Amino acid sequence: MQTATAATAVAGTLGNTATAGPITMRRRIGSIVYEVELHFNPDARETMNDKILRLIRRDMEAAT
Please give the full DSSP string across 6-33, using - where no structure is assigned.
Answer: HHHHHHHHHTT---SS-EEEEEEETTEE
- pTM of the predicted model as reported, rounded to 2 decimal places: 0.42
- Mean pLDDT, the chain, as a whole number? 77
* Stretch 35-52: mean pLDDT: 87
Res 6 pLDDT > 90? no
Q: What is the pLDDT of residue 41?
A: 82
CA distance 15 to 57: 19
Q: pLDDT category, 31, cuts 50, 70, 90?
A: very high
Q: What is the pLDDT of residue 60?
A: 94
